[in-house]
Amino acid sequence: MAHLTPTPVLEAGQDRTMILNMGPQHPSTHGVLRLILEIDGENVVRMMPDIGYLHTGIEKTCEAKFYQQVVPLTDRIDYLCPLTNNLCYVLAVEKLLGLEIPPRAQWMRVLLNELTRINSHLVWLGTHAMDIGALSVFLYCFREREDVLRLFEMVSGQRMMTSYFRVGGLALEPPLGFFERVKQFADRFPEKVDEYEDLLTGNRIWLNRTQGVGKLSREDAIALGATGPTARASGVDWDLRRDLPYSSYEKFQFQVPVSQDGDVFARYILRVQELRESNQIVQQALAGMPEGPVKAAAPKVVLPDREKMKTQMEALIYHFKIVTEGFPVPEGEVYQAIESPRGEMGYYVVSDGTAKPYRVHMRSPSYANLQALAKMCEGRLIADVVAAIGSIDIVLGEIDR
């Protein structure tokens, strides 16, 4: 593998190449990614990403927290899809505990996860188009993203760091009028996607900047651990929602778009199709939303309702115990993976039988997808690097953790 050749310590000037530093404050690097490029004229000979500028030691912090206190930390890994991270973590802990989640909570989780996917893809589309020079798309995308964030605020009180999923269900029953608001959004969203496509899909400049750029073959995508739209654009027909379903995704009908082209344009088209599919899933979740409780019947794990806490001694005791000493989780280990907007998000949680996790490891999709970046860029122009970075949709918070 060319990208695995030793001595990637890039030293300039042996012959005709030079080193160009890109980032970590470059506007197109989506945060604090630093790329060290070895260039020959305008061609990239070698590339080495340098990461770690946002490393905050979240995995270490998790080991000092109770299981329920880790949920807000998971928001902060990926600030574009907090609910996806919440879901992956709580699913892992619920699997360790052997908890059964009521159907209404599961469907709410699906609904909110698809809204998160729409939110994340909208930010991606806006910033990716802006990187390449189509500035106005950003404004259109953020218009709809604002609507999604208002829905999150309505349901959890927060626009971005939602922490709405809890071990055992949801934090709260969704408020009155929430489903109507989601319905209004989902009904008008497809025509908004048409608007974005009007701006980009047939645009000559857009096509020239994206078609045939940042190629990644199917073999390389699998070998380098790429997942999500980045891998599906290279012909890897794999979506965890369909192939290893979780949280009752098996009850939903949706298409998994796959493309064989493996270039930046294919990734763009795929994500736009996913916007439409996610909207379909939201519609299905709204139509079939079951009635019933949103929390599991596990008093030692799930906080009691305020009403019960003020009238029943037992509920008060459980509340006090969960808040002050957490809940013990049986010994064991679990790897739970879900399909985040960027690919396979996995949580590996090890329990030693106490109320604090022994080890939490996050397998973040951007981290693995970033390894494929060098493959996409080497041998291409510097200007294409910007298009390729945007097309793998990286979030540095998730890479550095």
Partner 1 sequence: MALAPAIRTIEALQERPALARLLAWKPAAVEAAVLDREELTLILERSGLREACAILEADPATRFDFLSDLTCVDRYPGEPRFEVVYHLLSLPRKERVRLKVRVPGDDPNLESVTSVWPAANYFEREVFDLFGVRFAGHPYLRRLLMPEDWQGHPLRKDYPVEGYR
Site residues (CB under 8 A) for partner 1?
1, 3-6, 8, 51-52, 55, 57, 59-61, 63-64, 95-96, 98-100, 222-225, 236, 238, 243-244, 330, 332-335, 337, 344, 346, 348, 350, 358-359, 361, 363, 367-368, 370-371, 400-401
Spell out the residues 6+ positions from residue 226 whose beta carbon is closer than 8 angstroms to its own.
216, 220, 234, 236, 343, 368, 369, 371, 372, 392
261: its two tokens: 């082209």
- Closest CB 157 distance from partner 1, rounded Å: 29
Nearer to partner 1, 146 or 333 (CB): 333
Least Cα distance to 136 among 195, 94, 204 occurs for: 195
Spell out the residues 6+ positions from residue 219 whose beta carbon is closer than 8 angstroms to its own.
none
Nearer to partner 1, 3 or 276 (CB): 3
**What is the Cα–Cα distance from 370 to 379, expressed in whole angstroms?**
17
106: its two tokens: 């599961």
DSSP E strands, 352-395: 359-363
**What is the Cα–Cα distance from 188 to 211, expressed in whole angstroms?**
30
Residues 85 and 160 sit within 8 Å (Cβ to Cβ) = no
- Closest CB 349 distance from partner 1, rounded Å: 11
**What is the Cα–Cα distance from 373 to 216, expressed in whole angstroms?**
9
- Closest CB 398 distance from partner 1, rounded Å: 12
Nearer to partner 1, 53 or 79 (CB): 53
- Closest CB 391 distance from partner 1, rounded Å: 19
Nearer to partner 1, 54 or 149 (CB): 54
**What is the Cα–Cα distance from 379 to 383, expressed in whole angstroms?**
12
Nearer to partner 1, 119 or 366 (CB): 366
- Closest CB 389 distance from partner 1, rounded Å: 16
- Closest CB 333 distance from partner 1, rounded Å: 8
Nearer to partner 1, 61 or 280 (CB): 61
- Closest CB 291 distance from partner 1, rounded Å: 21
**What is the Cα–Cα distance from 11 to 360, expressed in whole angstroms?**
38
Nearer to partner 1, 83 or 345 (CB): 345
Amino acid residing at 61 = T
